[in-house]
């Protein structure tokens, strides 16, 4: 009988049901988040709602897609770096074989070298990053709006900061790696040119 | 072997999963989530077979942040 917010326990049962275990687990995650943030009270309902909505929720889409895109981009990027390194190595071996020939490499502008590969790589990186950025921005705007509406609820803010923290280094890493790759190739070709010019002069 | 989860049927004829048992200032509390409607979550004080719902957000905050797991 319900009286002044009072209820009675009618039945108590123990179960191994997966659905029940999942609810318990998610509820515990909700409580942990409250404990971890430690910055104040977060509505249990709001907090757990976000966690419990599974893949169908805007939260999951907002957080999941940029993360996935980011990881996918990173994997493709690393793979391509390895492919480029392999090509670079093969070309280096070919150049060594031709060491005694009179052929002189005259490459003045590194941007023209392997430009299609670098451009494709950069284009892909930018594309991935732009998707992530757009979704993250959308998500953060929604979060800020939620924050304004419900100031004590800091959960979205933490998630947004975490999301940007995760994505920013990835973008910087991507751009730096492309620049490093270009710079290293440039140095290597300069070295080959210098060697070959010296050899010709000696002759 | 999986741990068993406790499910309570309360007098409102709803089933709740016992997510956490808490102890705060010598009082026992339960954090429950309704099985069929996971948005319905309650924090309640337990006294024998009686369950008193905690509705004051400040008290809820104190309990959640300060209670020990029982």
3-state SS string for A71-137? HHHHHHHHHHHHHHHHHHHHHHHHHHHCCCCCCCCCCCCHHHCCHHHHHHHHHHHHHHHHHHHHHHH
Residues 6 or more apart whose Cβ sits within 8 Å of residue A22: none
**CA of B37 to nearest chain A CA: how many angstroms apart?**
10
List phi, psi (to 5°) of A150: -135, 80
CA distance A133 to A168: 9
For the whole prediction, is pTM greater than 0.90?
no
Residue B4 per-residue DSSP state: P
Interface contact B16, partner A, CB < 8 A: no
- Closest-CA residue of B relative to A29 is B19
User: What is the CA angle B42-B45-B46, rounded to 5?
Assistant: 115
Q: Establish if B59 touches chain A: CB-CB under 8 angstroms.
A: no
Q: Quick one: how far is CA B34 from the chain centroid?
A: 10
**What pLDDT score was predicted for residue B9?**
93
Contact criterion met (CB below 8 Å) for B30 and B21: yes
Mean pLDDT rounded to a whole number for chain B = 84
Q: Which residue has the tokens 């509705």?
A: B55
Instruction: Look at the block and give the residue holding tokens 């800091």.
Output: A154
Which chain A residue's Cα is nearest to B19? Answer: A24
- Is the confidence at residue B1, as pLDDT, over 50? no
- Which of the pair, A106 or A200, is modelled with greater confidence? A200
CA A71 to chain centre: 5
- The tens digit of pLDDT for each residue in A178-197 reads 666 666 666 766 666 666 66
For the residues A33-55, what does the mean pLDDT come to?
Answer: 47
Locus of tokens 């493709």: A76
Specify the higher pLDDT residue, A56 or A143: A143
Q: Which residues of B are less than 8 Å from A44 in CB distance?
A: 31, 41, 43, 60, 64
More confident residue, A82 or A18: A18
Q: Could A5 and B55 be called an inter-chain contact, meaning their C-beta atoms sit closer than 8 Å?
A: yes
Look at residues A178, A166, A154 and name the one whose alpha carbon lies nearest to residue A77: A178
Contact A7 B61 (CB under 8 A): no
Confidence class of residue A5 from pLDDT cuts 50, 70 and 90?
confident
Contacts of A31 in chain B (CB under 8 A): 19-20, 31, 64
Q: Is the pLDDT of residue B50 over 50?
A: yes
Residue-wise pLDDT tens digits, A127-158 = 666 666 666 666 656 555 555 555 444 555 55
State the Cα–Cα distance between residues A4 and A86, nearest whole angstrom: 74
Is the Cβ of A68 closer than 8 Å to some Cβ of chain B?
no
pLDDT value at A108 more than 70: no
% residues pLDDT > 90 (chain A)? 1
Assign A41 a pLDDT band (cuts: 50, 70, 90). very low
Q: What is the CA radius of gyration of chain B?
A: 12
Inter-chain touch A31–B41, beta carbons under 8 Å: no
Predicted local distance difference test score (pLDDT) of residue A172: 56
Please tell me the distance from the alpha carbon of residue B38 to that of residue A131, in angstroms, as a whole number.
32
Task: Identify whether the C-beta of residue A24 lies closer than 8 Å to the C-beta of residue B36.
Answer: no
Contact A7 B10 (CB under 8 A): yes
Å between B24 CA and nearest CA of chain A = 15
Residue of B19, B58, B60 best to disrupt the A interface, most CBs of A under 10 A: B19
């Amino acid at each position: 009988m319900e009286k002044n917010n009072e209820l009675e326990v009618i039945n108590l049962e123990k179960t191994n049901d997966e659905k029940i275990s999942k609810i318990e687990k998610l509820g515990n995650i909700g409580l942990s988040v409250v404990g971890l943030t430690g910055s104040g009270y977060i509505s249990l309902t709001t907090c757990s709602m976000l966690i419990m909505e599974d893949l169908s929720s805007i939260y999951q889409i907002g957080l999941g897609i940029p993360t996935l895109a980011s990881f996918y981009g990173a994997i493709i990027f690393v793979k391509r770096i390895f492919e480029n390194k392999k090509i670079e190595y093969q070309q280096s071996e070919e150049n060594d074989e031709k060491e005694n020939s009179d052929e002189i490499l005259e490459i003045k502008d590194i941007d023209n070298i392997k430009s299609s590969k670098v451009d494709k790589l950069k284009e892909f990186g930018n594309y991935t990053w732009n998707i992530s950025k757009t979704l993250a921005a959308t998500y953060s705007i929604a979060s800020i709006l939620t924050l304004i509406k419900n100031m004590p609820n800091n959960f979205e803010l933490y998630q947004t900061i975490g999301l940007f923290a995760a994505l920013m280094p990835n973008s910087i890493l991507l751009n730096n790696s492309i620049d490093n790759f270009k710079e290293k190739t440039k140095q290597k070709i300069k070295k080959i040119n210098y060697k070959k010019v010296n050899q010709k002069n000696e002759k | 072997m999986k741990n068993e989860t406790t499910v309570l049927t309360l007098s409102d004829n709803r089933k709740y999963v016992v997510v956490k048992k808490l102890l705060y200032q010598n009082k026992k509390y339960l954090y429950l989530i309704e099985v069929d409607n996971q948005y319905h979550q309650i924090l309640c004080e337990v006294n024998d077979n009686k369950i008193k719902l905690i509705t004051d957000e400040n008290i809820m905050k104190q309990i959640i942040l300060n209670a020990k797991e029982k």
